Structure 1
């Protein structure tokens, strides 16, 4: 009976030591989980602060740009009102006949070259477009010269 009691006490002592180790490990895990949770909260807060700083700086930049635009508009309005009384309006120049002829000639030449070419449509379009641009520019140049002479004669 003494042996049995000794064995039982020893078994209980060993079991209680194992339970204490297990409880200590669980306590360490709980502490680590708490620490990790706090770190995540701090990181989230820092990220939110950084995002808010970025938004605030973007607002400041947008406000500066808005003020600059207002200043430019105000200065343009001021210069328009002062310069409109002193200068006459000039008519905006359009395309010259040379440029118009070159563009029209290139388009017509490209279409014609693609249609006429039997095998290589792209090559025909390039050659036709180049030839058409040259001929169209030549015709437009002749028309420009004629208009200059008429304007000088008046």
Structure 2
């Protein structure tokens, strides 16, 4: 058993050390691009929230006019100086997903149960816990994925 684990660790190490510097540079560039794309997506979402809040503010002001004190012509950097501009349409509110998926819950519960079982069964407690956690997480995630798939299928039928 020790020889199999040692051979497997050696193979994994050799494959991990066999990386090419060009592949690494390409991976770094890809990661940078993905990071910039996600930052841009966050900025777009932030701007949509600002636009929808401005639209709500303008519609509330039009429906309930209140005598405002005299204004100066100064406008903050992100605001509009005149009230004559049309307000942008509010962005549709995204549906919030509540809680964890069954896949995530299954992975966490399976990892915990596997770690406890592995530590009890194997004389080497740490090794048993590590192996049990990995196997348990895989089994739990698989079971949770099956439950998620069944729920999506049931929701699609209704």
Higher helix fraction (1 or 2): 1
TM-score normalised per structure 2? 0.43
Q: Radius of gyration: which is bigger?
A: 1
